[in-house]
């Protein structure tokens, strides 16, 4: 009888490899079914035209045109032109106001802030989004979002401290000089927005618990949360610093004392619970291996919102800059953009707002090469009409809504930061 054991042994590894490949193929097919490739909803706002401006950079000219198209006459700025995007998010509108001010468009920014002031909550959290132009919450089941209080305070302060524009236009492709005739001292009237500022600042203070952190709230991920996230805390820190500066300028001593105490408590609790890597949710534990070796946070997951802990939203700190760089590397996708976070769905799709946040962060921290590289990436994936889309899919095609107000505003801010320092609360 012939012994085939040696032949069976020789073929066994190939059989194992074939089985493993079959499992991998099945897993890939399942992932594609669960996470299909997003497609482009629309390639831009119909009929919009480029504004008359002396800004030479094509990406920024188109961005400003799209902000014009997304802003209604009363200042209501919708996140996108179509369907579920055609609402006013306090976050997106705040960034649009700041972007306008970064290029000297103070009248336009005042209209955006004026609309936010009109729809502000007199008590409680800001709504997730509002209908335009009537400014009511749509009643679609989305919970109010605490981060709105922070974003609105920051935008109001930013527009009262406009960046100093250079005297002449630069020849750089990333130059965004102010429109001619705009005085350097221009800005908005803070006193007009004090009720909105006071109510937002007081709401942040009221939310802090015994652990000096706010309760759980949905954030820019637009989903219910069971624990507090950095997506809520980062804008609240920025908002409190901004609100403090406004209150001090207006001589509101009671708010200065209350908000300073809240800022000190929230800052210390954030470093204690989220440091040293500043993940999306507090690390479950921190491992200290030995003296001289960096401690390691366990769990929590990287989140692109870590960028808001540094310039231009907060003074620079070495540990935060390191966390921002670490997070960008972790979240960068094969297509070159970034995903919102490690706990986001694993589908290889890059999101343009988060990519633009890292570009703005790099520009504000003096990392010009990274900022320009990310702007070039965003520029490369614009739609045929020049609009910035919400996403770039695995096939390297623009996807989702276009233009997206948040991304568009962030690109304007980034280009401005490359041309002149942005104010930091």
pLDDT tens, residue by residue, 208-242: 999 999 999 999 999 999 999 999 999 999 999 99
Segment holding 298, helix H or strand E: strand 296-298
Q: Check pLDDT > 70 for residue 382.
A: yes
Question: Which pair of tokens denotes residue 194?
Answer: 């004090």
Angle at 184 between CA 362 and CA 98, to 5 degrees: 45
The pLDDT of residue 169 = 32
pLDDT in tens, 70-79: 999 999 999 9
Q: Check pLDDT > 90 for residue 161.
A: no
Q: Closest by alpha carbon to 147, among 271, 313, 302, 282?
A: 313
The pLDDT of residue 294 = 53
Dmax (CA) for the chain in angstroms is 102
The pLDDT of residue 11 = 60
CA separation (Å) from 151 to 145, 169, 240, 282, 354?
11, 30, 10, 22, 16
Q: Closest by alpha carbon to 401, among 45, 26, 7, 16?
A: 45
Question: Which pair of tokens denotes residue 112?
Answer: 């955006």
Q: Closest by alpha carbon to 54, among 108, 109, 106, 104?
A: 104
Q: Check pLDDT > 50 for residue 108.
A: yes
CA distance 68 to 55: 15
**3-state DSSP assignment of residue 408:** helix
Q: Check pLDDT > 50 for residue 177.
A: no
All domains of the chain in start order, with CATH: 39-419 (1.50.10.10)
CA separation (Å) from 222 to 145, 147, 308?
9, 11, 18
CA distance 45 to 37: 23
Angle at 72 between CA 88 and CA 359, to 5 degrees: 60
**3-state DSSP assignment of residue 304:** helix
Quickly tell me which residue has 């002396």 as its tokens. 54
**Whole-prediction pTM:** 0.87
Residue 188: pLDDT band by 50, 70, 90 thresholds? confident
Percent with pLDDT over 90 in the chain: 75
DSSP track, 28-55: HHHHHHHSPPP-BS-SS-TT--------
Paired sense of beta strands 285-287 and 296-298, if any: antiparallel
Residue 55: pLDDT band by 50, 70, 90 thresholds? low
């Amino acid at each position: 009888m012939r012994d085939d054991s040696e032949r069976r042994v020789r073929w066994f590894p190939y059989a194992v490899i074939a089985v493993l490949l079959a499992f991998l193929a099945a897993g890939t097919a399942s992932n594609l079914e669960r996470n299909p490739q997003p497609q482009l909803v629309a390639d831009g706002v119909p009929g919009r035209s480029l504004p008359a401006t002396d800004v030479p950079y094509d990406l920024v000219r188109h961005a400003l045109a799209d902000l014009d198209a997304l802003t209604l006459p009363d200042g209501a700025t919708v996140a996108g032109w179509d369907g579920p995007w055609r609402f006013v998010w306090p976050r997106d509108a705040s960034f649009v106001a700041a972007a306008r001010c970064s290029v000297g468009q103070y009248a336009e920014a005042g209209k955006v802030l004026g609309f936010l002031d009109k729809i502000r909550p007199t008590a409680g959290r800001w709504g997730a989004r509002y209908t335009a132009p009537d400014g009511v919450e749509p009643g679609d089941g989305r919970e109010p979002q605490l981060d709105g209080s922070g974003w609105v305070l920051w935008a109001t302060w930013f527009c009262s401290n406009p960046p100093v524009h250079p005297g002449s236009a630069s020849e750089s492709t990333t130059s965004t000089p102010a429109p001619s005739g705009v005085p350097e001292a221009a800005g908005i009237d803070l006193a007009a927005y004090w009720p909105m500022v006071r109510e937002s600042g007081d709401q942040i203070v009221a939310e802090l618990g015994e652990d000096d952190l706010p309760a759980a709230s949905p954030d820019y991920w637009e989903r219910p949360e069971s624990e507090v996230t950095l997506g809520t805390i980062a804008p609240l820190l920025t908002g409190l610093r901004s609100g403090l500066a406004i209150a001090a300028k207006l001589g509101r001593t009671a708010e200065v004392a209350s908000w300073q105490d809240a800022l000190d408590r929230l800052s210390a609790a954030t470093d204690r619970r989220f440091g040293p890597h500043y993940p999306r949710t507090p690390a479950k534990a921190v491992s200290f291996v030995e003296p001289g070796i960096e401690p390691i946070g366990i769990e929590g997951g990287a989140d692109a919102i870590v960028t808001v802990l540094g310039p231009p939203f907060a003074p620079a700190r070495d540990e935060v800059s390191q966390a921002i760089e670490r997070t960008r590397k972790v979240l960068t996708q094969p297509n070159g953009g970034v995903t919102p976070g490690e706990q986001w769905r694993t589908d290889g799709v890059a999101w343009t707002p988060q990519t633009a946040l890292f570009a703005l962060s790099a520009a504000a921290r003096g990392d010009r090469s990274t900022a320009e590289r990310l702007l070039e990436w965003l520029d490369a994936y614009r739609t045929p009409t020049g609009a910035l889309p919400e996403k770039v899919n695995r096939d390297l095609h623009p996807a989702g809504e276009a233009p997206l107000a948040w991304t568009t505003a962030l690109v304007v801010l980034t280009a401005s930061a490359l041309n002149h320092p942005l104010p930091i609360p």
